[in-house]
Amino acid sequence: MTDIAPAIELKGISKAFGPVQANKDISIRVMPGTIHGIIGENGAGKSTLMSILYGFYKADKGEVFISGRKTEIPDSQAAIAAGIGMVFQHFKLVENFTVLENVVLGAEDGWSLGPSLRKARKELINLADEYGLNVDPDALIEEIGVGMQQRVEILKALYRQADILILDEPTGVLTPAEADQLFRILQRLKAEGKTIILITHKLREIMDVTDTVSVMRRGEMTATVKTSETSPQQLAELMVGRKVLLRVDKTPAKPREAVLEVKGLNVTDDKGVHRLKGIDLTVRAGEVLGIAGVAGNGQSELLEVLGGIQFGEGSVKLNGAEIDLTGRHSDGQSRRARGIAHVPEDRQREGLIMNFAAWENTGFGYHHDDRYNRSRLMMDNAALRQDTEEKMDRFDVRPPNPKLAAKSFSGGNQQKIVLAREIERNPDLLLIGQPTRGVDIGAIEFIHQQIVALRDQGKAILLVSVELEEILALSDRIAVMFDGQIMGERLPDETDEKELGLMMAGMTREAAAAQPQNAAQEG
Amino acid sequence: MDVIPKWADAVLVPLISLILAAVLSALVILAIGEDPVAAAKLMVEGAIGSTYGWGYTLYYATNFIFTGLAVSVAFHARMFNIGGEGQAMLGGLGVALVCLYIPFPHWALALPVAIIGAAAFAAIWAAIPAYLQAKRGSHIVITTIMFNFIAAALLNYLLVGMLKPSGAMDPATAKFAATTHLPTFQDLFSWGEKPVFRGAPANVSFFVSLLACVAVWFLIWRTRLGFEIRAYGESESAAKYAGISPTKIIMISMIISGALAGCMAINNVMGEAERLVLGSVEGAGFIGIAVALMGRSHPLGVLLAAILFGFLYQGGAELALWTNIPRELIIVIQALVIMFTGALDNMIRMPLEKIFLMMRKEGAA
């Protein structure tokens, strides 16, 4: 092994943004023809490291060796020239161009497009044969699915003769089946001698596909180990720096009367697209109903219409009393007054005002409440600050400074601020979307405990998450959404990720149950 | 985490901008063969060297405080109200109608009624674009600009036709009754033998504008409405989540904004001209945008910026009067100040951020 030069070797990479040390003296060696995982919490410095490798940032210190040669990467052009291809978490594709045009874009051979396109078409067919990356070259990007779009990103990199492929959180937008497909493509790329770096925060993916794995914490590389010689538990500990509970500790639910009853709920958005198509569901006191589904299948709209942000049609009853979905009063204020709390999916766009101080955010949405107001006109800022201090203490928000702007807190602490605000209202129904998106493992544990504790107090909880593991861990019942409809309901002990994955891809519960065991593998 | 401390952002950035604008202005004056030092001296002398000069500077400043506050309030809701000019014109109409047709026994009674008249007319004028934005999605910048032209045409029509006293030659209303005369600084502060502020137009409206500053501060940072306005301005999606109605915030913030712009008329129409003439606003509505930008939409900043622009107006008038520097060049100087303090903000801030970062690093090391 020693005589083969590593495909990538980083030596002593450091990078600071102002006072924040994003990368501290990082060194790794990635051998050619392997899949190397980089795992770490949000803000651990994974993306910064890869951005340095791809020429977006310049390292303050350190050296990069590609195939044994010291290489300067001042910009992404140089990275491509060095054989590095990057697949970003958010795709960089032109929506109204075809697959072929996107592949050629930026790699045209001359002033005339024709020859480049012809060459690219031939090349695409070759690549498809070689790696099983079948895509219709003439399809428009906006008309193909997310999984296909990701393939186009990979094809783009391969078309530019990339030998080293970096994938940043590639499965965030995929169904489990699509993710499995992606991993098979990666295995094949590896077999053909490509080197792959997989950045993720999902332990399962690391265990499934990588050969070696590096763990990052707070800008430092804490360990690099062979995947076969480690365990998820050990990796989690390395990521967080202490022992963590990966499973949620909870007793069986003791559901009582129905709190939320939804019948025939329809939502049509501003553009006239039918987002929810006749949703029926019930959430009872003392249980968590989990909604599984790939992002964009109506879960957001469901939360929004229940939370009073969107208008809808149909019947929604809270504690037996009908809620007005179309009238003037169907807004967040009246929902809160009736005992619906809402932790929105996107805390940075909806749940918080990033430029507001923490104490202003604590009253946000409840600013009509008597205890936050001195008179009909004036707010009681002192009471708000006091209240925030108490909430920060109870929810262990760090730093516990109510005057700090929301944007200055980490993702997990931002989420704790939102949770503290909504849970402490003692609501009958909690709507909660993506409770742990962008939240570090340590905080995930805490947030999950809070949700279970609220359930045990006899509250009804409607949970929406794209993380299947989270749905399985927290829910007492699971409903799967696809294309604005509920495909069926399952109990967490009776189902697994495979079956839920099939339902998330549009199969009904019965069809999914009838699938032979290996069906998921063929997608 | 903020890169530069608050005080530097509020004081240092505008100060450096001003110095740069002054240096550039000096070069321009030098280029046409005049002495920049003498010109600067003359401006300072003329604008703040005497109570007379102050009387003019503060008169102009009063106009700019009202229009600056108007732009600020709307801007907290991220509404860019370019229509201060037209709203102030309509405010003038409100003041004129009140002063012409209601027989007041004393100015102390006339002033509050005139304020209501000015605010009401201007608020309605601002409410139309606000409604179009809230309900129809017509962009507020475009509609408020258009409403400036409509306001000008409307006033032209009214002053040439209906409001002009028969037999008069110029498009203006009759003079208001003497009982509506607002006490000027000369009336207020001349106790001794020698009158101060002699002949200068500054009047009690200045104190009304100071009250307006306090009121706006209170509104934005102490009331629930202000909280909602700021929340909506920071994030529309978050405001919707919290159940804050966008329509309500757009309408109310624009109505308050318009009313503030309209209140300018108690200074220039009631306090100075004592009749409504055509073109009485003289661009103060637009200066208000620069004032709000420079003042960071904070009432204290608006107050200081308004006095600065009052100084530039009065000093500029003195320059035009006593030197060969043409009037147009004075507009160039004012434009340079607007450009540096408003538009080129980041040009100053980014190098400053770098300096502060370096200082911090050295401090840490």
Chain segment B130-139, per-residue pLDDT in tens: 999 999 999 9
- Half-sphere CA count of B153, side-chain side, radius 13 A: 5
Count of CB atoms situated within 10 Å of the CB of B283: 16
User: Would you call A19 and B231 a contact, using CB atoms and an 8 Å cutoff?
Assistant: no
Residue given tokens 């939409």 in the structure block: B297
Give the nearest partner residue to B222 out of A333, A350, A379, using CB atoms: A379
Residue B22 main-chain phi, psi, to 5 deg = -65, -45
Find the chain A residues whose C-beta atoms sit closer than 8 A to any C-beta of B.
18-19, 307-309, 331-336, 342, 344, 346, 349-356, 360, 363-365, 367-368, 373, 377-379, 381, 408
pLDDT at A515: 65
Distance from first CA to last CA of chain B, Å, rounded? Answer: 19
If residue A167 lies in a helix (H) or strand (E), which one and from where to where?
A: strand A164-168
Q: Is the dihedral of CA A271, A277, A278, A282 positive or negative?
A: negative
pLDDT at A1: 46
Is residue B209 within 8 Å of residue B65, measured between CB atoms? yes
Find the chain B residues whose C-beta atoms sit closer than 8 A to any C-beta of A.
1, 3, 222-225, 227-228, 230-231, 234-235, 237-238, 240-245, 357, 360-361, 364
Q: Which CATH superfamily is domain A8-240 in?
A: P-loop containing nucleotide triphosphate hydrolases (3.40.50.300)
DSSP string, A327-354: STT-SHHHHHHTTEEEE-S-IIIII--T
B274, with CB counted inside 10 A (0-12, 13-18, 19+), is middle
What is the per-residue pLDDT across B188-234, written as a single tens digit (0 to 9) for each?
998 878 888 888 999 999 999 999 999 999 999 999 999 999 999 99
pLDDT at A245: 65
pLDDT in tens, chain A (523 residues): 456 889 999 999 998 877 778 899 999 999 999 999 998 877 788 888 988 999 888 888 999 999 989 998 998 889 999 999 999 878 889 989 999 999 998 888 878 888 889 999 999 989 888 888 888 999 999 888 888 898 999 999 999 989 999 998 888 778 788 888 899 999 999 998 999 999 987 888 889 899 999 999 888 898 899 999 998 888 888 887 777 666 778 888 999 999 999 999 999 887 788 999 999 999 999 999 999 988 888 999 999 999 998 889 999 999 999 998 875 555 788 889 999 999 999 998 999 999 999 999 998 999 988 889 998 889 999 999 999 999 999 999 988 999 999 988 888 889 999 999 999 889 999 999 999 887 877 788 899 999 999 999 999 999 999 888 899 999 999 999 999 999 999 999 998 888 888 898 888 777 777 765 444 444 3
CATH topology of domain A245-339+427-523: Rossmann fold (3.40.50)
Read off the pLDDT of each residue in B162-186 and give the average, rounded to a whole number. Answer: 91
Q: How many contacts, defined by CB atoms under 8 Å, are there between A and B?
A: 74
Report helix, strand or coil for A216: strand
Q: What is the largest CA-CA distance in chain A?
A: 78
User: Domains, chain B, ranges and CATH?
Assistant: 35-323 (1.10.3470)
Residue A379, token pair as written in the block: 């707010």
Give A-chain residues touching B246 at CB under 8 angstroms.
none
pLDDT at B2: 56
Residue given tokens 């009052």 in the structure block: B310
C-alpha distances in angstroms, A302 versus A181, A432, A483, B199, B281? 29, 11, 12, 68, 52
User: Would you call B238 and A364 a contact, using CB atoms and an 8 Å cutoff?
Assistant: yes
Give B-chain residues touching A332 at CB under 8 angstroms.
240-244
C-alpha distances in angstroms, B91 versus A212, B266, B285, B337? 74, 8, 12, 28
Q: Find the angle CA(B109)-CA(B115)-CA(B117) to the nearest 5 degrees.
A: 100
CB environment B236-271: b (16+ within 10 A), e (fewer):
bebbbbbbbbeeebbbbbbbbbbbbbbbbbbbbbbb
Give the nearest partner residue to B235 out of A331, A349, A360, using CB atoms: A349
Distance, CA of A204 to chain centre? 15
User: Would you call B243 and A367 a contact, using CB atoms and an 8 Å cutoff?
Assistant: no
B142: region left, alpha or beta (phi > 0 left; psi from -120 to 50 alpha): alpha
Give B-chain residues touching A19 at CB under 8 angstroms.
1, 360-361, 364
Is residue A278 within 8 Å of residue A266, measured between CB atoms? yes
pLDDT tier for residue B3 given thresholds of 50, 70 and 90: low
Tell me the domain boundaries of chain A: 8-240, 245-339+427-523, 353-424
- Domains A8-240 and A245-339+427-523 in one fold: yes
β partners of residue B184: B203
How many angstroms separate the CA atoms of B269 and A346, rounded? 51
- Interface mutation target, options A271, A364, A414, A417, chain B, most CBs of B under 10 Å: A364
Give B-chain residues touching A334 at CB under 8 angstroms.
243
Distance, CA of A281 to chain centre? 25
Residue A117, token pair as written in the block: 């396109």
By DSSP bridging, strand A69-70 and strand A61-66 are antiparallel
Residue A342, amino acid: H
Residue A308 main-chain phi, psi, to 5 deg = 85, 15
CA dihedral A345, A349, A355, A357 (to 10 degrees): -30
Count of CB atoms situated within 10 Å of the CB of B328: 8
Give the nearest partner residue to A309 out of B227, B231, B241, using CB atoms: B241
Count of CB atoms situated within 10 Å of the CB of A15: 22
